[in-house]
């Protein structure tokens, strides 16, 4: 199994991201294994994206987080060793321990029924207990991956588990073809296409298109389009930082279909809870280690 990895070490810190190609293209957009130590203890921002988050914590610390910083730091904050996160429009605030090991998948939202059972609209929690949805086999998989010494072996276990789930749901009703095409259309235009243009492309009324998206995804086509645009913008910013150490926000805004830089900053504040400059400062370490790469495969 070919696994690409990037690892960086200095006198105080060691961290790695491992990014194998997806074994389930059209269902899983990307997979990342991570192992970080000497993290600044505090809160990490889990950002909205057009994909579902499926995360396995492979150390002793569960994933703890909530929709506000204050709630994330309380004893009552939701926690999970296997996390399923749906489409959301605000950041999740996740407690970041000193060290952490895990695997995170970006899952196409139209693949939720095949991989998880319920549709995306039912996966609304920012930190949702994946074992409660998937059952004891997911918990056993997490334990086996945690006990497995290499990333290659861990991913082999994970892909085998996901293939079994896909095979078991072969007869599950697929999303409507018009919804699949609508999602692809939004992805193709990076979220910049108009809603009138989407409706004309599908040959439906705007109201019918909204019903299709809402019934399966729990989000409107406009919300999904904005997630695509933001996700591409913040990944472009991360790529700029990784390559040159800086990013021209005005250029990013123009290339990603924002009216101007102020428009991009407003979206950033909604989706991250902070400004682009502060997000860059918080994420600089992860950016340099390859932790903000875009999913490689095409929409389903």
Q: What CATH number has the domain bearing residue 53?
A: 2.60.120.10
Q: What is the pLDDT of residue 180?
A: 96
Cα–Cα distance, 172 to 273 (Å, whole number): 38
pLDDT at 9 over 50: no
| pLDDT interval class at 298 (50, 70, 90) | very low
| pLDDT interval class at 8 (50, 70, 90) | very low
Residue 206 lies in a domain: no
Q: How many domains does the chain contain in total?
A: 1
The pTM for the full model equals 0.90
Chain position carrying tokens 């970080």: 36
Residue 250 lies in a domain: no
Chain position carrying tokens 């095979």: 167
Burial class (CB in 10 A: 0-12, 13-18, 19+), 270: middle
Q: What is the pLDDT of residue 289?
A: 62
Cα–Cα distance, 284 to 286 (Å, whole number): 6
Of residues 137 and 298, the one with the higher pLDDT is 137
| pLDDT interval class at 3 (50, 70, 90) | very low
Q: What is the pLDDT of residue 17?
A: 83
Cα–Cα distance, 23 to 38 (Å, whole number): 32
| pLDDT interval class at 294 (50, 70, 90) | low
Q: What is the pLDDT of residue 61?
A: 86
Q: What is the average per-residue pLDDT within 131-141?
A: 95
Structure tokens at 92: 């999740």
Q: What is the pLDDT of residue 290?
A: 60
Q: Work out the angle at residue 181's Cα, subtended by the Cα atoms of residues 177 and 183, and round it to the nearest 5 degrees.
A: 115
Q: What is the pLDDT of residue 56?
A: 97
Residue 146 lies in a domain: yes
Name which of 252, 250, 220, 222 is nearest 235 in CA terms: 252
Residue 32 lies in a domain: yes
Residue 243 lies in a domain: no
Q: What is the average per-residue pLDDT within 129-141?
A: 94
Cβ 273 vs Cβ 45: under 8 Å: yes
User: What range defines the domain where residue 88 resides?
Assistant: 5-168
pLDDT at 127 over 70: no
Of residues 243 and 124, the one with the higher pLDDT is 243
If you average pLDDT over every residue of the chain, what do you get?
A: 89
Highest mean pLDDT among 34-48, 113-127, 207-221: 207-221
Long-range contact pairs involving 271-280 (C-beta distance under 8 Å, separation at least 24) = 271/47, 271/48, 271/89, 271/90, 271/91, 271/230, 271/234, 272/45, 272/47, 272/91, 272/234, 273/45, 273/90, 273/91, 273/93, 274/45, 276/237, 276/247, 276/249, 279/45, 279/234, 280/237, 280/241, 280/247
Cβ 287 vs Cβ 238: under 8 Å: yes
Q: What is the pLDDT of residue 297?
A: 55
Cα–Cα distance, 79 to 64 (Å, whole number): 4
Q: What is the average per-residue pLDDT within 93-103?
A: 92
Determine which of 25-39, 178-192, 260-274 has the lowest per-residue pLDDT on average.
Answer: 25-39
Residue 290 lies in a domain: no
Determine which of 127-131, 141-145, 165-169, 219-223 has the lowest per-residue pLDDT on average.
Answer: 127-131
Residue 186 lies in a domain: no
Residue 39 lies in a domain: yes
Q: What is the average per-residue pLDDT within 190-211?
A: 97
| pLDDT interval class at 242 (50, 70, 90) | confident
Q: What is the pLDDT of residue 6?
A: 40
Q: What is the pLDDT of residue 128?
A: 80
Q: What is the pLDDT of residue 15?
A: 62
């Amino acid at each position: 199994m070919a696994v690409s990895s990037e690892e960086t070490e200095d006198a105080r810190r060691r961290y790695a991201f491992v990014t194998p190609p997806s074994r389930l293209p059209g269902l899983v957009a990307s997979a990342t294994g991570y192992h970080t130590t000497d993290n600044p203890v505090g809160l990490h921002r889990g950002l909205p994206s057009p994909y579902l988050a499926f995360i396995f914590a492979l150390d002793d610390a569960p994933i703890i987080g909530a929709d506000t910083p204050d709630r994330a730091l309380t004893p009552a904050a939701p926690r999970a060793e296997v996390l399923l996160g749906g489409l959301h429009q605000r950041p999740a605030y996740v407690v970041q321990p000193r060290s952490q090991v895990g695997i995170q998948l970006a899952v196409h939202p139209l693949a939720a029924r095949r991989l998880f059972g319920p549709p995306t609209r039912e996966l609304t929690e920012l930190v949702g207990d994946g074992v409660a949805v998937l059952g004891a086999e997911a918990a056993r998989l997490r334990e086996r991956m945690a006990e497995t010494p290499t990333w290659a072996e861990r991913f082999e276990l994970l892909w085998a588990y996901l293939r079994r789930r896909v095979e078991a749901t072969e007869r599950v009703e697929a999303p409507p073809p018009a919804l699949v095409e609508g999602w692809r259309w939004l992805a193709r235009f990076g979220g910049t296409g108009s809603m009138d243009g989407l409706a004309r492309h599908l040959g439906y009324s705007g109201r019918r298109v909204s019903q299709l998206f809402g019934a399966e995804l729990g989000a409107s086509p406009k919300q999904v389009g904005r997630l695509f645009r933001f996700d591409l913008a913040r990944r472009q910013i991360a790529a700029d930082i990784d390559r040159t150490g800086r990013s021209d926000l005005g250029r990013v805004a123009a290339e990603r279909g924002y009216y101007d830089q102020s428009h991009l900053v407003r979206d950033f504040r909604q989706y991250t809870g902070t400004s682009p400059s502060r997000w860059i400062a918080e994420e600089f370490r992860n950016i340099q280690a390859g932790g903000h790469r875009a999913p490689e495969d095409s929409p389903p």
